[in-house]
Structure 1
Amino acid sequence: MDHRPQAWGRPRDDVYGPYDHSNLPADGANQHTQSPIVTGTSVIAVKFKDGVVIAADNLASYGSLARFTNVKRLLPFSTTSVVGFGGDVSDMQYLTRHLSDLQIQESYSSPGVPRLSAQNLHCYLSKLLYARRNKFDPLWNQVLVAGFDDDDAPFLASADLRGTTFTAPSLATGFGSMLAQPILRKHVPDEASTKELTKEDAIKAIKECLKVLYYRDARSLDVYSIAVVTKDGIDLKEDEKIEQQSWAFADRIKGYGTQTV
């Protein structure tokens, strides 16, 4: 039996004869990403009075296997914005190269002119995602864009593989939309409350969410990247470690429910 992946789902040559390739295009069959395999999980972000804090862990899972533990899913764009990627890693790499080319093009085409704001970048990405969706070849990502809008106000918005956009005082992708958002909404229930949230409190809230995700989401990791976007620039820290983590309570759990030894 032929166990090679390229032979999966094909009739056996020794039983049915050689496979007929005459019906295939000369340059091979079209291949679209329709079922992501290597994926990243939650990206979380919150606005505060002077900017935006955004974070994502460094894990890329191969199905249910925690395969790659050093995948950076936060991409600084120029000195104005940070893009956080959730979803398929190969599509994330495509977008990363695309945005790098765009950044170089912007730098050479308009030197001395203010570069794209986070609001402009988010609009561009949403149109790109929508265009790929219309070709039935979507980019299987949900992105968060953090930075400042054209009026120099903190800006945070998301776009998904269908080109759907959304903006809020706090946003999250993946399981973070269910596990982290309730925590963040306690700090910033509405847009007005972001004016009272300090940078230190915003970072503390994000780190609390990362700890909850590490305990509750099987596709997360205790090593993460975090970026603070202010008018002074981007402060990006990678390979940070979740503090005060402990699984010591596990040895007191017996069976299911709340029984203890």
Structure 2
Amino acid sequence: MDTLVAKYSRSPYEDEFYSEQQQREMTECLPPLSLKFDLPPIENPSAFLRAMTDDHANPNAPIKLAHGTTTLAFRFKDGIIVATDSRATAGNWIASQTVKKVIPVSRLDLVTDKPQDAPVPGLLGTMAGGAADCQYWLRYLAEQCTLHEIRHKRRITVAAASKILANLTYAYKGMGLSMGTMLAGVTPQEGPALYYIDSDGTRLSGNLFCVGSGQTFAYGVLDAEYRYDLSTEEALELAKRSILAATHRDAYSGGYINLYHVREEGWVHHGFMDTDPIFWKTKLEKGEFTNVTADV
């Protein structure tokens, strides 16, 4: 590090044929140098990246950073519940604890003087896989949906939006995309509609989906307690507990619980909640997570 700093802190004219006085005068005319360097947040970056391959001994093996998350969505009688965690990982390194993995996909009505808790018209998309791939293609999909709504003067259906995204990802199949997303919305033509789309071009419609490394733990809670006739309060609580179970057991999931309720009028955000107080409240009130024995 000292060698690196010395290299960039010396005068750029030292290698030229200038006298010391000339070097000093020319250096004083330059803006001050900033010795702040953006460095990787790990001790040995090359060793870290070398471990993230299929063959550690092969110097030409492509780097494959493991991604982890937990996202879920399910239909019920009053709409659709969408919930995610907020942890982003690159291999065994936690890159962020505050990623917002739910992205609004289309909203033709952009009135800004509505109450804070008023529904926002449009569809919601979730992120799982590579964050850059998901963010880019969901925002591109939002552009296409907005153009559709401007041309036809009505909201796009969830089926049509999901078909656009599936066609896009299929065109790039085998090129390294990493996506597993869900599209949720309620339209007059379809009612509550939920679709799963991935980077292979797969497109599925269903009542309940979980995507990500923590999906098996979330499915364990959802499969046991999911019913179509859940009340809104019960549905929100079920989604919260499902994400909580995944963050407790899956090392690649964690951070906060992001909760949404999608209705025909639009979606409503129900909070970006820290998992820690929810965990202890659930443990004390419901007697769950009995493997944790720490005093509270």
The one-letter code sitting in structure 2 at the alignment partner of 1:249 is: V
Partners of 1:44 and 1:173 within 8 A in 2? yes
Q: Secondary structure at the match of 2:199?
A: coil
Larger strand share, 1 or 2: 1
After TM superposition, give the deviation of residue 36 of structure 1 in Å. Answer: 5.3
Q: How does 1:61-72 map to 2 (within 5 A)?
A: 61-72=89-100
Q: Secondary structure at the match of 2:234?
A: helix
Partners of 1:211 and 1:222 within 8 A in 2? no
Partners of 1:44 and 1:56 within 8 A in 2? yes
2:75 is aligned with 1:47: yes
After TM superposition, give the deviation of residue 114 of structure 1 in Å. Answer: 1.2
Choose between structure 1 and 2 for higher RCO, CA contacts under 8 A separated by at least 6 residues: 1
1:212 pairs with one of 245, 251, 258: 245
After TM superposition, give the deviation of residue 51 of structure 1 in Å. Answer: 0.6
The one-letter code sitting in structure 2 at the alignment partner of 1:234 is: W
Q: Structure 1 length as normaliser, TM-score?
A: 0.73
Q: Secondary structure at the match of 1:75?
A: strand
1:106 pairs with one of 125, 148, 158: 148
Correspondence for 1:121: 161
Question: How far apart in 1 are the matches of 2:131 and 2:255?
Answer: 19
Q: Secondary structure at the match of 2:128?
A: strand
Partners of 1:146 and 1:155 within 8 A in 2? yes
Partners of 2:86 and 2:257 within 8 A in 1? yes
After TM superposition, give the deviation of residue 168 of structure 1 in Å. Answer: 2.3
After TM superposition, give the deviation of residue 220 of structure 1 in Å. Answer: 1.1
Correspondence for 2:194: 156
Q: Secondary structure at the match of 1:228?
A: strand
Correspondence for 1:97: 139
After TM superposition, give the deviation of residue 40 of structure 1 in Å. Answer: 4.6
After TM superposition, give the deviation of residue 203 of structure 1 in Å. Answer: 0.7
Instruction: Give the fraction of aligned pairs with identical amino acids, expressed as a percent.
Output: 22
Question: How far apart in 1 are the matches of 2:177 and 2:202?
Answer: 13
1:119-146 CA-partner distances (Å, limit 9, x unpaired):
211111111111110xx31421100111
Question: How far apart in 2 are the matches of 1:54 and 1:35?
Answer: 32
After TM superposition, give the deviation of residue 245 of structure 1 in Å. Answer: 1.9
Q: Secondary structure at the match of 2:172?
A: helix
The one-letter code sitting in structure 1 at the alignment partner of 2:198 is: D
Correspondence for 2:215: 177
User: Residues 90 and 62 from structure 1, CA distance in 2 versus in 1: closer, same or farther, beyond 3 angstroms?
Assistant: same
Correspondence for 1:244: 278
User: Residues 35 and 203 from structure 1, CA distance in 2 versus in 1: closer, same or farther, beyond 3 angstroms?
Assistant: farther
1:89-129 CA-partner distances (Å, limit 9, x unpaired):
1112221331343244335434xx11212221111111111
After TM superposition, give the deviation of residue 178 of structure 1 in Å. Answer: 1.3
After TM superposition, give the deviation of residue 155 of structure 1 in Å. Answer: 1.0
1:7-44 CA-partner distances (Å, limit 9, x unpaired):
x99xxxxxxxxxxxxxxxxxxxxxxxx86537351111
Partners of 2:157 and 2:189 within 8 A in 1? no
Partners of 2:214 and 2:252 within 8 A in 1? no
The one-letter code sitting in structure 2 at the alignment partner of 1:244 is: I
Partners of 1:37 and 1:63 within 8 A in 2? yes
1:212-244 CA-partner distances (Å, limit 9, x unpaired):
011101011131211110012110245322343
User: Residues 36 and 249 from structure 1, CA distance in 2 versus in 1: closer, same or farther, beyond 3 angstroms?
Assistant: same
The one-letter code sitting in structure 2 at the alignment partner of 1:75 is: I
Partners of 1:57 and 1:220 within 8 A in 2? yes
Question: How far apart in 2 are the matches of 1:40 and 1:109?
Answer: 38
Question: How far apart in 2 are the matches of 1:86 and 1:35?
Answer: 19
User: Residues 104 and 156 from structure 1, CA distance in 2 versus in 1: closer, same or farther, beyond 3 angstroms?
Assistant: closer
1:83 pairs with one of 105, 125, 134: 125
1:59 pairs with one of 73, 77, 87: 87
1:167-198 CA-partner distances (Å, limit 9, x unpaired):
2221100134311123212333xxxx52x122
Correspondence for 2:13: none
- Whichever of the two has the greater Rg, that structure is 2
